[in-house]
Amino acid sequence: MSEAVTMDKIVSLCRRRGFIFQSSEIYGGLNGAYDYGPMGVELKNNIRDFWWKEMTQMHDNIVGLDASILMHPRVWEASGHVSNFTDPMVDCKVCKSRFRADQIDLNAPCPVCGNKGSFTEPRNFNLMFQTHIGANADAASIVYLRPETAQGIYVNFKNVLQSSRVKLPFGIAQVGKSFRNEIATKNFIFRSCEFEQMEMQFFCKPGTDEEWFPYWREQRMEFYKKMGIHPDHLRWHQHGPDELAFYAKDAYDIQFLFPMGWQELEGVHSRTDYDLTQHEKFSGKDLTYLDPETNERYIPYVVETSAGLTRNVLMALSDAYDEEATPEGDVRTVLHFHPAIAPVKVAVLPLVKKDGLAEYATKLEHDLRSDFYTFYDQSGAVGRRYRRMDEIGTPYCVTVDYQTLQDQTVTVRFRDSMKQERVSADKLSSFIHDAMKNYRRGE
């Protein structure tokens, strides 16, 4: 982690440059909810697409799914979320503040109002958001906003199996929103009530999970390195006996060095046949797999890779953020995003507006649009325009100057090294394609 990076600086940059805003800010904000601005939505979509391509297109045995957020309530009984997905909470009887019982000293005064002995007994508080479906708001109409995307995959196991000619081993990948009524939201978008997950459930023959589990651990760590994340900012954490879910065989988290320290980024978990067995029990439907080679019938084992997309956004920002002294003697703020996830890939800047340079640059920028997300900027000194692009992590700035009008060449300025290279305007698109493909941080 760059020593310069703090959560306050990330939050401030995100607001200033249109990455992330507090939800409903003009009404005072809503805790635990965030809005992604023009740059943030590009960054988030790029990370999502990078993951999706990696997990589906680059493997021959993974297919996609987009399950609905609202599901049959029995799903959450089968998964254990109705009875077990709880935090022990206490309320202050005086000021009505609610706290996680394991995060405060129950013998100390209330941290909000200062009254002593005002706490209720700890009570289990379910983290699932509840709502009602249909016209009647009674117990029979209760549905939940899903607290995880994985169950949508499990309940569609048989549908996918029967409709897409997949054979074991195969995986189902899904990206989507999940909701948890977190009382202790903190650290910006790290833990929020509404978030996005990128999950893949890999179904395999019992016993072969011993090979697939290390395989997927390696694949998932490689993914972050391909995304350009600094290897020193990533590490493994194996779940100890106290952390491991009772049905899980083994579980590892990929942790990232966030500004507030090492925290979970993604889980790779060996879940055995627990989930499908539960759904078979609760639904009464046969969820076994008939092995066409051996004619054996069994419930597959599952290896899960579960990453937070919104948490990935915070990781990308924290990893990319730096403040650097420039040769001119000032300091620039720069986001060293891998070009694949950078919101804007190419900025086109005329050196000055007059003498036909703006017209030339405008046409050039329009020509690049079908290949890259571009940005046109003609206001202010060119050095200040470079700085603005550095701050949102734009990897390439193309400058149109007087020489351009004579020989049809432009200057490409590299964000990381700030080096410049003259390139023929008609070769610009393939030049940038190559540069993106061969990108290495710092160059």
Give me the residues that bind Zn ion (CB under 5 A), please.
Answer: 92, 94-95, 97, 110, 112-113
Taking the complex as a whole, the smallest distance from the CB of residue 95 to Zn ion amounts, in Å, to: 3
Determine the Cα–Cα distance for residues 272 and 348; give it in Å rounded to an integer: 53
Determine the Cα–Cα distance for residues 259 and 261; give it in Å rounded to an integer: 6
Taking the complex as a whole, the smallest distance from the CB of residue 122 to Zn ion amounts, in Å, to: 15
Taking the complex as a whole, the smallest distance from the CB of residue 183 to Zn ion amounts, in Å, to: 14
Taking the complex as a whole, the smallest distance from the CB of residue 438 to Zn ion amounts, in Å, to: 58
Q: Are 393 and 336 in contact (CB under 8 A)?
A: yes
Determine the Cα–Cα distance for residues 106 and 28; give it in Å rounded to an integer: 30
Q: What is the 3-state secondary structure (H, E, C) of the chain?
A: CCCCCCHHHHHHHHHHCCCEEECCHHHCCCCCCEEECHHHHHHHHHHHHHHHHHHHHCCCCEEECCCCCECCHHHHHHCCHHHHCEEEEEEECCCCCEEECCCCCCCCCCCCCCCCCCECCCEEEECCEEEECCCCCCHHHEEEECCCCHHHHHCCHHHHHHHCCCCCCEEEEEEEEEECCCCCCECHHHECCEEEEEEEEEEECCCCHHHHHHHHHHHHHHHHHHCCCCHHHEEEEECCCCCCCCCCCEEEEEEEEECCEEEEEEEEEEEECHHHHHHHHHHCCCCCEECCCCCCEECCEEEEEEEEHHHHHHHHHHHHEEEEECCCCCEEEEECCCCCCCCCCEEEEECCCCCCHHHHHHHHHHHHCCCCCEEECCCCCHHHHHHHHHHHCCCEEEEECHHHHHHCEEEEEECCCCCEEEEEHHHHHHHHHHHHHCCCCCC
Rank residues 64 and 109 by Cβ distance to Zn ion and give the closer one.
109
Rank residues 184 and 331 by Cβ distance to Zn ion and give the closer one.
184
Rank residues 113 and 260 by Cβ distance to Zn ion and give the closer one.
113
Rank residues 113 and 245 by Cβ distance to Zn ion and give the closer one.
113
Taking the complex as a whole, the smallest distance from the CB of residue 345 to Zn ion amounts, in Å, to: 51
Rank residues 110 and 313 by Cβ distance to Zn ion and give the closer one.
110
Determine the Cα–Cα distance for residues 21 and 40; give it in Å rounded to an integer: 9
Taking the complex as a whole, the smallest distance from the CB of residue 24 to Zn ion amounts, in Å, to: 25
Rank residues 95 and 436 by Cβ distance to Zn ion and give the closer one.
95
Give Cα separations from 208 to 166, 213, 214 (angstroms).
17, 9, 11
Rank residues 119 and 396 by Cβ distance to Zn ion and give the closer one.
119
Contact residues for 407 (Cβ-Cβ < 8 A; gap 6+): none
Taking the complex as a whole, the smallest distance from the CB of residue 106 to Zn ion amounts, in Å, to: 13
Rank residues 120 and 424 by Cβ distance to Zn ion and give the closer one.
120
Taking the complex as a whole, the smallest distance from the CB of residue 111 to Zn ion amounts, in Å, to: 8
Taking the complex as a whole, the smallest distance from the CB of residue 100 to Zn ion amounts, in Å, to: 15
Rank residues 92 and 398 by Cβ distance to Zn ion and give the closer one.
92
Taking the complex as a whole, the smallest distance from the CB of residue 117 to Zn ion amounts, in Å, to: 11
Determine the Cα–Cα distance for residues 26 and 122; give it in Å rounded to an integer: 35
Rank residues 119 and 223 by Cβ distance to Zn ion and give the closer one.
119
Taking the complex as a whole, the smallest distance from the CB of residue 22 to Zn ion amounts, in Å, to: 25
Rank residues 98 and 332 by Cβ distance to Zn ion and give the closer one.
98
Residue type at 191 in one-letter notation: R
What are 197's strand-pairing partners? 176, 308
Rank residues 38 and 114 by Cβ distance to Zn ion and give the closer one.
114
Taking the complex as a whole, the smallest distance from the CB of residue 31 to Zn ion amounts, in Å, to: 17
